[in-house]
Amino acid sequence: MAGFASALAAGCATQGGDPQATTVEVETEERMESESRESFQALLALLHEISDEWIGPARGVTTVEHDAIAHESLAQVLWGALEFYATEDFDKPRFSPIVTPLRKWSDNPDARYYFTPLRGDGVYRVRGRRGSEVYLNFTLHRGDRDGAWPSGVVADLKMRDMHFEPDGSYEVVIAADEQPGNWMKLEPDAGSLVVRFYYQNERSAAADPTTVPELEIARETDGSGPTPAADDATIAKRLERVANWVRSKYGYQVLSVPGRPLPGWFSSTPNTLGRPEDWEAAKEGGGWGAVDAAYSAGPYAIGPDEALVMEGRLPEGVFSNVVLWNEMGKTEDYRDRTVSLNARQMVLDDDRRFRIVIAHRDPGVPNWLDTAGRERGTIYWRHFLPAETPEVATLRVVPFDEVVRKAP
């Protein structure tokens, strides 16, 4: 490192200290060719393709604002792909947060999600300890080991079926052969493990450092020593997985082709919601749904002086919340805006009925969801282990002044 710094300083000195000066002519050698270079160039080509061909009218991007947030989302998906795959080692798995307050797609301020790629062989042990979450789930996906879109669920382990020690600690074993205690069956086409934690706290859990869970994973090894340093083929494969993940995640979920069939619980009509449906019953399309959740979602569209009134009944259950996403399927900054409401935060009447107002500015009434000025976006409901079938909430557009609380 010192040698590099000295060489850099010497180079700057020859240019009068100006880093923008013309480069000194040096004798050049033929460029090295490697599998890693090829994979990296393919990744760059994919990013150019997405920017030049995907982000545009053919996929519904028709405004400067939408174009801007589409490129922001692409950068964030790339960020995630690099964290998950650029240095992955299937013999030394580690959990990474899928989304954070700054890196987002399909995110939820009341949840924490963790991801690790894995192989379909061997034995993995996950250790953790219960915190303040009201729901915990482990989902083993298939078909996505090389960064593709998951094709289905291999196994899932629900909190209600888990054994916990008196201090809240637990161990989950992932293996092909049945194990005592908390066991998930591993199959050859398994590719990733997702762990979900949901919270019904007054403060958004994803922005609260006290909710970071104790969670680690290890793969059983023969103890023969450290794994070899990554060679050209290994690094090339990692970069290939990065590109695959960007292509599948961005192209299938974040900015999909118009006309792709939506699940029944996701309305395509502005200002209407799909009827709540259990993801377990509709998971054939793959993806990252939670097996215990009933979802209901749909697009919203309101003008600058309009509000959207959403009314319905919140079912009894382990967890419920509603989240606003922008046109790219991600929240605005929930560190200083109310873009979601969970069952604890929501003001309900004696029959658990709610009235939520979606508006660009504060109307001074309970249950306001802040659009951050986005006139279009998505409303997304989650109900975990509801004790009754959730009803679909109704929506109506009204003048903003109609919902403003008047001073006495």
**Average pLDDT score over residue span 55-74:** 96
Full strand arrangement of the beta sheet holding 353-359: 368-370, 353-359, 306-313, 394-399
**Average pLDDT score over residue span 4-26:** 49
Q: Is 100 exposed, middle or buried (0-12, 13-18, 19+ CB in 10 A)?
A: middle
Amino acid, res. 256: S
Protein fold of 92-220: Jelly Rolls (2.60.120)
pLDDT band at 280 (very low <50, low <70, confident <90, very high): low
Amino acid, res. 329: G
pLDDT band at 252 (very low <50, low <70, confident <90, very high): confident
State what percent of residues in the chain have pLDDT above 70.
89
Question: Closest Cα partner for 146 from 107, 224, 90, 217?
Answer: 90
User: Does domain 277-403 fall into CATH 2.60.120.1600?
Assistant: yes
Point out which residues pair with 125 in neighbouring strands: 173, 218
Question: Closest Cα partner for 211 from 201, 225, 221, 226?
Answer: 201
Q: For the ranges 179-193, 251-265, 293-307, 315-329, which has the lowest average pLDDT?
A: 251-265
Predicted local confidence at residue 286, as pLDDT: 47
The answer to whether 111 and 205 have CB atoms below 8 angstroms apart is yes
Cα 408 from Cα 403, distance rounded (Å): 15
Predicted local confidence at residue 357, as pLDDT: 98
Cα 77 from Cα 246, distance rounded (Å): 6
Predicted local confidence at residue 278, as pLDDT: 84
Compute CA distances 282 → 89, 286, 298, 385, whole Å: 32, 9, 17, 16
Cα 133 from Cα 199, distance rounded (Å): 5
**Average pLDDT score over residue span 106-113:** 97
pLDDT band at 7 (very low <50, low <70, confident <90, very high): very low
- Residue 12 pLDDT > 50, yes or no? no
pLDDT band at 288 (very low <50, low <70, confident <90, very high): low
The answer to whether 61 and 55 have CB atoms below 8 angstroms apart is yes
Predicted local confidence at residue 307, as pLDDT: 98
Predicted local confidence at residue 34, as pLDDT: 97
Integer-rounded Cα radius of gyration of the chain? 24
3-state secondary structure of 350: coil
Between 356 and 4, the more confident residue is 356
Cα 321 from Cα 159, distance rounded (Å): 19
Q: How many CA atoms lie within 13 A of 221 on its CB side?
A: 13
Cα 60 from Cα 373, distance rounded (Å): 19
- Residue 28 pLDDT > 80, yes or no? no
pLDDT band at 279 (very low <50, low <70, confident <90, very high): low
Residues of the chain with CATH 2.60.120.600: 92-220
Other CB atoms within 10 Å distance of the CB of residue 264 = 14
Compute CA distances 222 → 58, 333, 378, whole Å: 52, 46, 49
Predicted local confidence at residue 3, as pLDDT: 52
Q: For the ranges 1-10, 203-212, 329-338, which has the lowest average pLDDT?
A: 1-10
Q: How confident is the model over 138-166, as pLDDT tens digits?
A: 999 999 999 999 999 999 999 999 999 99
Q: For the ranges 22-31, 120-129, 178-187, 391-400, which has the lowest average pLDDT?
A: 22-31
**Average pLDDT score over residue span 328-341:** 97
Q: How far is CA 333 from the centre of its chain?
A: 15
Predicted local confidence at residue 145, as pLDDT: 92
Cα 144 from Cα 367, distance rounded (Å): 39
Cα 176 from Cα 25, distance rounded (Å): 60
Cα 297 from Cα 273, distance rounded (Å): 5
Q: Is 338 exposed, middle or buried (0-12, 13-18, 19+ CB in 10 A)?
A: middle
- Residue 283 pLDDT > 70, yes or no? no
Residues of the chain with CATH 2.60.120.1600: 277-403
Write out the H or E segment, with its range, that includes residue 236.
Answer: helix 232-248
pLDDT band at 226 (very low <50, low <70, confident <90, very high): confident
- Please list the alpha-helical segments (H only) found in 50-161: 64-85
Q: How far is CA 244 from the centre of its chain?
A: 16
Compute CA distances 4 → 7, 9, 97, whole Å: 5, 9, 34
Predicted local confidence at residue 18, as pLDDT: 56
Q: For the ranges 234-238, 292-296, 374-378, which has the lowest average pLDDT?
A: 292-296
- Residue 287 — left, alpha, or beta (φ > 0 → left; ψ -120 to 50 → alpha)? left
Question: Closest Cα partner for 341 from 307, 379, 309, 304?
Answer: 379
The answer to whether 190 and 124 have CB atoms below 8 angstroms apart is no
Predicted local confidence at residue 157, as pLDDT: 96
Question: Closest Cα partner for 354 from 326, 393, 401, 296?
Answer: 393
**Average pLDDT score over residue span 106-124:** 96
Query: How much is the pTM?
Result: 0.90
